[in-house]
Amino acid sequence: MVRLPETPDGWELLEVRRFGPFVVGATYRGPSGAEQGWSSRRHRTHTARGVPTRVWWTAGLFSVGSFGFALGSFPPYLRTVSPLVDNLTYFGGSVCFTLAALLCVVGAVEASERLGSHPASLAGRLLRVDSIGWWSAIVQLAGTIWFNVMTLRAVVVSGSAAQVDALVWRPDLLGSACFLVSSYLAVEEARRQPADVPGRAWSWWVVALNLLGSIAFGVSAVASFTRLSTQQILDFRLDDAGTFVGALCFLVAAVLTVPEARCEESNEHVGGRA
């Protein structure tokens, strides 16, 4: 069942914006005749009390994780440290990604509950399948877990090209694919926001940079495939460059989520909720 904010008496629903089965935005007219936009993304990232602590932690963890991936793929760093240290740098960054992704899932669940839905069961509280924000967050979380697997195996796995491809490259490809899907859902959610929603311009920058970062990670994943005939990856430079560029995109996007959420006006008052 699709949920919208509850409106006080006198408010009229003018338009509902959807992406597939998901409601991502709406426009209301108040008793005074003034129109007010509502956005599912804005509802998730901002409250009437300002920037949630969760947003600060999410931005910080994604920033640290992105820095770890950027550092791990930075050529001077690669020449300075051992392969083990470099792989541990990636693994530490992937753990930060996973913690941040978990907070995104928590934010999506909390946002659904603020719309007035409070299922009794724990499963009902966690599974918000009618929320595009929840799907974006849960697919992103799956991607970070694949990156955990990939970076941890890179620390401990040594063997033939076939073993490396199966144990390290495949999780890398799956994680990158999850990031692409998650970023695409976020873009579709953001581009259907009503024009008057606060923070809309910041949202565009955030989702666009995340999409670019996901594409760069995908290019890196393809380039890191190890040829069975030569026991060498397809393109070392493209592998490192894709990871570095993608990590920088994620880093900037993470920082920009704070001003996105900081825009002082909240759209939650449409539903009469604080």
Is 253 in contact with 205 (CB distance < 8 Å)?
yes
Question: Hey, what long-range contacts does 117-125 have (CB within 8 A, 24 or more apart)?
Answer: 117/3
Residue 127 has what pLDDT? 60
Instruction: Using alpha carbons, list the distances in angstroms from residue 125 to 4, 80, 139.
Output: 17, 48, 17
Residue 49 has what pLDDT? 64
Q: Maximum CA pair distance of the chain? A: 72
Q: In the chain, what are the helix, strand and coil shares in percent, each to the nearest 5?
A: 65, 10, 25
pTM across the whole model: 0.87
DSSP-assigned letter for residue 138: H
Residue 4 lies in a domain: no
Number of independent structural domains in the chain: 1
> Which residue is listed with tokens 């953001």?
190
Q: Which residues of the chain have pLDDT under 50?
A: 1, 120-124, 266-269, 271-274
Task: Output the six-digit token pair for 9.
Answer: 């008496």
What single string gives the DSSP state of each residue in 69-127?
A: HHHHT-HHHHHHS-HHHHHHHHHHHHHHHHHHHHHHHHHHHHHHHHTT---SSHHHHH-
Residue 272 lies in a domain: no
Residue 270 lies in a domain: no
Helices 200-223 and 236-262 cross at an angle (nearest 10°) of 160
Residue 95 has what pLDDT? 98
Is 245 in contact with 218 (CB distance < 8 Å)?
no
3-state class of 11 per DSSP?
coil
Whole-angstrom distance, CA of residue 101 vs CA of residue 58: 8
Instruction: Using alpha carbons, list the distances in angstroms from residue 206 to 27, 209, 216.
Output: 23, 5, 15
Q: 25: left (phi > 0), else alpha (psi -120 to 50), else beta?
A: beta
Residue 7 lies in a domain: no
Residue 31 lies in a domain: no
Residue 1 has what pLDDT? 45
Q: Domain span at residue 212?
A: 41-265
Residues contacting 82, CB < 8 A, separation 6+: none
Residue 14 lies in a domain: no
